[in-house]
Amino acid sequence: MNGKALPYLLLMPATLFLCVFFLYPFALVAFEAVTRDGAFTLDNFRTMAGSWKFPATVRNTLLLAAIVVPIQLAMALLMASVVSRLETGRSAALYIFAIPLGISDLAAGLIWLAIFDQSGFLNTLLSGLGIVDRPIMFLGYQSKLTIFIAVVLAEIWRATAIMMVILVAGMGLIPREYHEAAEVFGASPWKRFVRITLPLLRPSLQTAIILRVILAFEVFAVVAALGGTNLPVLMGETYNWQFTLQDRNVAAASALLILAISIGFTLFFLRVLRVPREARI
Amino acid sequence: MTNALKKLAGAALALSLAAGGAYAQQVLFWSTQARPVEETQKMRDQVLKGFDGPVDYQVAEDGPWLTRLQAELQAGSGTIGVLGGLHGDFSTVGANLVDLSAVDIGQAKVNEVYKKLGMLGTGEQKYLPWMQATFLMAANKQALQYLPAGVDLNKITYDQLIEWAKNIAENTGSPKLGFPAGPKGLKHRFFEGFLYPSYTGSMVTKFRSPEAETAWNKFKELWQYTNPNSTNYAFMQEPLLTGEVWIAFDHVARLADAFNQKPDDFVAFPAPAGPAGRGFMPVVAGVAIPMTSPDVDKAKALVAYMLKPETQIATLKATNFFPVIDVKLPDDMPASVKAFSVAIAAMTGAPDALPALLPMGLGDLGGKFNQIYSDSFERIVLGGEDVHGVLEEQAAALKAIIDQAKAPCWAPDKPSEGACPVE
């Protein structure tokens, strides 16, 4: 067999799979988003944007991403630095940090619901300590801020580990010589982190951030569990259009909007965190 | 040649007679009700066993149910003997149903309001009411001490309910009224079938009338004394059981557990009345006979059998749907049934009773129709937006949906030519 063709042949099944189960349905969804009863129209996007909930939906989704991702980035960097430095018990620490990754996002939402619920752990604790005399309602419709904070907490708890895993792998790729040389010249740990680790970590940072930002725009189950309809987000509205309102076309339009935002941010981070060819390790 | 044809025709006739003979004794009962498999089995084993002759009870989703019926009607001959379905299921095929006014139902006294619904606006009895469910109010007995003086629970009004809820909130320090206003709750049915009819006498036509504005303002008043956690409730039996809520509104099937687990703690009572009457949403199922029924006499006998008191009680046990005739329930019924049957009788039999039907003729736009009412609630009550402005906007959306479905008005709105108007 021709050696040159082999890699492509091996990629064939995966490519076919993607075409049939991703590209084809995607084309159908894109088609549905711009048609109604067979005729081309932008009405679906107009209907979506005209809904009274739409501005709040976009605002909530962007705000969530803007708050969750930077916090997670900082925490993931810290955790990754600690884990990389460990001599013993490194894998044990990695596994423990990664436990929330093994839990589905809905289950994660339910765990945090059990904490913040009116008859949940937090209220039991507070009344047990005598701080409150009757349960506080954290997740009611009047306390959108608390709902928001609860969602942020749940999201950080759930998905920081995925960034950490990528960053740990990236840190392992940085040659030790750079650090040793810096140490010889008397650079402080902070300086070594800022001047050596961060710049050399760029490719991993790029991957981690892009992955996390895309996930942030798809946030759904955690919000549904904690906020119900009190905190509308884009993905929740897409679900609503499809299943409650049974309008596939508008649901498709809404899905495309999420895709467009995701692509936009991906391109942005690809550009900002670009690593010049000659600077790659 | 002719001989051969004759023989062939004869053989075909003999065959069809033989086949017809085999089916003639068995009545096909084609139904959209009692679809969960245990309920279907109970219908066969417990309810229909007692009928004189075999009955084949078959269930289908609304769509396939109608498709097969229409196919048989178009073909001019069929195998379906008796139809079972909700009021809305029959409204599109009314012209093809046999008049049941001459069916002998013996001593059974059928609810007059429902019987009239069964005429589908014609002079004929298109279907006979078969069974019913609805929504009710339930209260923890602890709440009764705060009931304003002189209030009869069976005749309660919205103003009295507000006063009662206020009393409780002020005396216990926390709001204890509950609504199923969570994402999976049935709040839209409350606005469609209870609040709107009680204040406007309408569900659709007077959506943005001054009366509707009054209704929403009253509901806002009531909401002050409502547990804010209501936006998370789906089945009111749960907060009733935990004591988070003392007074609640919900579908009977979503209240039953509370009554069955703690029979002595709760009372059930009718939905409140407003200036236009005691609006309530009955879920009425009926039995009918299509014109193409193979054996109309046998089918009529089955219809009469369904309305016998014993059958009605067996049906209640099998499906949790209540009788539509006056019947004394035996003592071995679950506590929920005992409590609900009294409250339902008080509500449906009230002099100011104003039944509001489930939306019909909307097809797959039903979800959007409900969303209009849920959105109005979220914007007016939760979001605190201006009532008039919201109703104007939502009315436009409502009109678009009704026009798209070309759905004529249903009770309590007056019958319309073409799509139901939104004034």
Kindly state whether residue B292 falls inside one of the protein's structural domains: yes
Residues B36, B115, single domain; the answer is yes
Report the half-sphere exposure of B378 (CA within 13 A, side-chain side): 21
Question: What pLDDT shows up at residue A50?
Answer: 87
> Cis ω on the peptide bond leading into residue B175 (within 30° of 0)?
no
Distances (CA, A) of B370 to B135, B189, B359, B365, B376: 16, 8, 9, 9, 10
For the cut 70, the answer to whether the pLDDT of residue B44 exceeds it is: yes
B150: left (phi over 0), alpha (psi -120 to 50) or beta: left
Question: What residues 229-288 of chain B have any CB closer than 8 A to a CB of chain A?
Answer: 229, 231-232, 242, 244
pLDDT above 70 covers a percentage of chain A that reads 98
Confidence bin at B23 (pLDDT 50/70/90): very low
**Pair of tokens at residue A182:** 């810096």
Question: What integer is the mean pLDDT of B393-413?
Answer: 90
Tell me if B212 sits within 8 A of A121, measured CB to CB.
no
For the cut 60, the answer to whether the pLDDT of residue B416 exceeds it is: yes
Residues B153, B220, single domain; the answer is yes
In order, the DSSP letters of B206-242 are TTTSHHHHHHHHHHHHHHTTB-GGGGG-S-THHHHHH
Kindly state whether residue A133 falls inside one of the protein's structural domains: yes
Which chain B residues touch A247 with a CB distance below 8 Å? Answer: 368
Confidence bin at A280 (pLDDT 50/70/90): low
ipTM above 0.85, yes or no: no
C-alpha–C-alpha distance, residues A146 and A118, integer Å: 13
Confidence bin at A68 (pLDDT 50/70/90): very high
List the single range of B29-33, B116-120, B399-403 with lowest mean pLDDT: B116-120
For the cut 60, the answer to whether the pLDDT of residue B5 exceeds it is: no
Question: What pLDDT shows up at residue B19?
Answer: 46
Question: What pLDDT shows up at residue A246?
Answer: 75
Residues B398, B260, single domain; the answer is yes
At A71, give phi and psi (nearest 5°). -60, -45
Give the closest of B229, B244, B367 to A245, CB-based: B367
Kindly state whether residue B192 falls inside one of the protein's structural domains: yes
Closest among A222, A176, A214 to A196, alpha carbons compared: A176
Kindly state whether residue B4 falls inside one of the protein's structural domains: no
Kindly state whether residue A120 falls inside one of the protein's structural domains: yes
Confidence bin at B93 (pLDDT 50/70/90): confident
**Pair of tokens at residue A124:** 């039991």
pTM over 0.80: no
Domain that holds residue A126: 63-174+206-239
Kindly state whether residue B3 falls inside one of the protein's structural domains: no
Kindly state whether residue B341 falls inside one of the protein's structural domains: no
Task: Tell me the pLDDT tens digit for each residue of B73-88.
Answer: 999 989 999 999 988 7
Residues B185, B231, single domain; the answer is yes
Question: What pLDDT shows up at residue A137?
Answer: 81
Cα B34 to the center of its chain, rounded Å: 14
Kindly state whether residue B150 falls inside one of the protein's structural domains: yes
> Nearest chain A Cα to B368, which residue?
A245
- CATH number of A139's domain: 1.10.3720.10
Residues B124, B164, single domain; the answer is no
- Please count the structural domains in chain A: 1
Q: Which of B231, B244, B394 to mutate to test the interface with A (most CBs of A within 10 A)?
A: B231
Residues B225, B83, single domain; the answer is no
Cα B197 to the center of its chain, rounded Å: 15
Kindly state whether residue A16 falls inside one of the protein's structural domains: no
Please report, to the nearest 10 degrees, the dihedral formed by the alpha carbons of residues B100, B103, B105, B106 taken in order.
150
Kindly state whether residue B221 falls inside one of the protein's structural domains: yes
Cβ neighbours around A60 below 10 Å, total: 23
C-alpha–C-alpha distance, residues A86 and B60, integer Å: 64
Residues B233, B190, single domain; the answer is yes
Residues B117, B145, single domain; the answer is no
Task: Tell me the pLDDT tens digit for each residue of B188-210.
Answer: 999 999 999 999 999 999 999 99
CB contact B400 to A (< 8 Å): no
Question: What pLDDT shows up at residue B331?
Answer: 83
> Nearest chain B Cα to A56, which residue?
B383
**Pair of tokens at residue B179:** 């609504």
Mean pLDDT of chain B: 88
Kindly state whether residue A55 falls inside one of the protein's structural domains: no
Confidence bin at B6 (pLDDT 50/70/90): low
Kindly state whether residue A134 falls inside one of the protein's structural domains: yes
Residues B175, B213, single domain; the answer is yes
Tell me if A231 sits within 8 A of A143, measured CB to CB.
no
For the cut 70, the answer to whether the pLDDT of residue B13 exceeds it is: no
Residues B30, B125, single domain; the answer is yes
For the cut 70, the answer to whether the pLDDT of residue B15 exceeds it is: no
Confidence bin at B111 (pLDDT 50/70/90): confident
Question: What pLDDT shows up at residue A1?
Answer: 57
Q: Calculate Rg over the CA atoms of chain A.
A: 23
Confidence bin at A281 (pLDDT 50/70/90): low
Kindly state whether residue B345 falls inside one of the protein's structural domains: no
C-alpha–C-alpha distance, residues A84 and A116, integer Å: 34
- CATH number of B53's domain: 3.40.190.10
pLDDT above 70 covers a percentage of chain B that reads 94
Residues contacting residue B53 through CB under 8 Å, at least 6 positions apart: B25, B26, B27, B298, B301
Question: What pLDDT shows up at residue B286?
Answer: 94
Question: What integer is the mean pLDDT of A34-40?
Answer: 87
Kindly state whether residue A271 falls inside one of the protein's structural domains: no
Question: What pLDDT shows up at residue B221?
Answer: 94
Residues of A with CB under 8 A from a CB of B: 52, 118-119, 134, 137, 139-142, 224, 228-230, 244-247
Residues B373, B250, single domain; the answer is yes
Tell me if B343 sits within 8 A of B155, measured CB to CB.
no
Question: What pLDDT shows up at residue B16?
Answer: 47
| 3-state SS, residue A36 | strand
Domain that holds residue B77: 14-132+283-328
Residues contacting residue B380 through CB under 8 Å, at least 6 positions apart: B216, B220, B387, B390
For the cut 70, the answer to whether the pLDDT of residue B240 exceeds it is: yes
Tell me if B383 sits within 8 A of B372, measured CB to CB.
no
Give the closest of B174, B182, B367 to A244, CB-based: B367
- Please count the structural domains in chain B: 2
Residues B54, B116, single domain; the answer is yes
For the cut 70, the answer to whether the pLDDT of residue B20 exceeds it is: no
For the cut 90, the answer to whether the pLDDT of residue B140 exceeds it is: yes
Question: What pLDDT shows up at residue B7?
Answer: 54
- Contact at CB, A52 and B244, closer than 8 angstroms: no
